[in-house]
Each structure stands twice: as C-alpha cells, then as structure tokens.
A and B are shown apart, each in its own frame.
Chain A
Amino acid sequence: GAGVSQSPRYKVAKRGQDVALRCDPISGHVSLFWYQQALGQGPEFLTYFQNEAQLDKSGLPSDRFFAERPEGSVSTLKIQRTQQEDSAVYLCASSGRTGDNEQFFGPGTRLTVL
C-alpha cells in the first residue's frame, strides 16, 4: 500500500510569506507526527495528533507555527510570516495504533526561506 506522502517536496518562500505543508498519512493510521530537521541535525519533534485531536504541540517553536488535522487523516502544517531560521526539512510520520511504536516517515518537504 501507499506510504506517507508529503507535498510539496520543495518550497521556496520569501521572508514574510505564509506557507502550508501537507501530509497524507498511511490510510487508517491514528497517530500523526510532525518533525523539523535542520541541516546537519536530527529531526526534532513539533507536534502530535491522535485522530483529529492535537495532543501535544510543545515542540512548535513559535506562535507562527500552526498545525491541524480536521478530519483525522490529512494534516497541514502552516507557517506564518516565514523567517530564514524556518528553513529546514519538515517530516511527517504516522503510526497505526495508540501506543504503536513504529512511526512511518514521509519523504519530507524542504523549505527554503530567502
């Protein structure tokens, strides 16, 4: 079956622009995670959904970052008024059941803010 997909794969934004990054998890997966991976670093947790409920958003770096998953499937990560420090790869992952330990990752969206 299809894995986790993300779009766009690459995004270039001018500083101050708003961007929206999309994640399509594996069908039926309950849990969805967003991570930010800066150049040369490991992924860092941003936020976590269980179905449509956002259970943890402690990793969001500022109030310019907002994530939603209104119908419990597709999720969107929105960044308002982008800054150069927002340049990174944004990874989405999903897992099948509550407490399931394996997360399946998408290919990521590489965001470059000029």
Chain B
Amino acid sequence: AQSVTQLDSQVPVFEEAPVELRCNYSSSVSVYLFWYVQYPNQGLQLLLKYLSGSTLVKGINGFEAEFNKSQTSFHLRKPSVHISDTAEYFCAVKDSGYSTLTFGKGTMLLVSP
C-alpha cells in the first residue's frame, strides 16, 4: 500500500522569502509523484508532476520539485513566494500501473507581507 507524509501542516513565510514544502512517500513499486494546489473553495490544480527522466521537475507559478528515490522524497520549492501563493498544497503518489491517487494531508502555506 502507498502512503504520503507531509510533515508540516502549516508553513508561515514572509513575502519574497524562499520556501520548501516537504513530502515523503512509501510504496513498494515504481511511482509517479504530483503536487497539487488548492485555493479556498476551489478544486485542486496540478502544479507539477514527476513521471520519469530528470529528477528536477519545474511546474507552474515558479515552483519546482526534486524526486529523490533513495530518500523517498519529493519536496516542493519556490525561491521567492508571493502573497498569492497562500493556499493548501497537496503531495500525491500514484503507482505506475494503477489509476488512483493517494494524497498527503496537505500543507497550508501562509505568506505574509
């Protein structure tokens, strides 16, 4: 069975500061990894995904993530955050041979001026 751990439930940060949101997963098979963002009262929007190839993945809105197989991690980073990045961020994993996503509990990113 798969599982996803997002170690931080909330991450407060000042505007223009860098941020890292942590994600660790467990799976016995080859996986695909995703980060989604959820703004209040909205559905989930895909930020980026890792399927294969380069372990550094670039996504929308200036976010990037690095897949580390040995540490079973897929941490999300942004070098300089904006107020508008305030939202809930979800890490998710999917077996390469299966269709459904397993999500972490989410990390609330709070950006203040």
Contacts and interface: CB of A to CB of B under 8 A. Distances in A.
Interface of A: 4, 31, 33, 35, 40-45, 48, 55-56, 59, 91, 93, 95, 99, 101-108
19 contacts: A4-B43, A33-B99, A40-B106, A41-B105, A42-B4, A42-B92, A42-B103, A43-B101, A44-B103, A45-B101, A48-B99, A56-B99, A59-B100, A91-B44, A99-B99, A105-B36, A105-B43, A105-B44, A107-B41
B41, B100, B101, B104: most-surrounded residue (chain A CB, <10 A) = B100
Contact of A101 (B36, B51, B105): B51
Interface residues of B, number: 23
B72 interface: no
Contact of A102 (B46, B102, B106): B46
Interface of B: 4, 6, 32, 36, 41-46, 49, 51, 90, 92, 94, 99-106
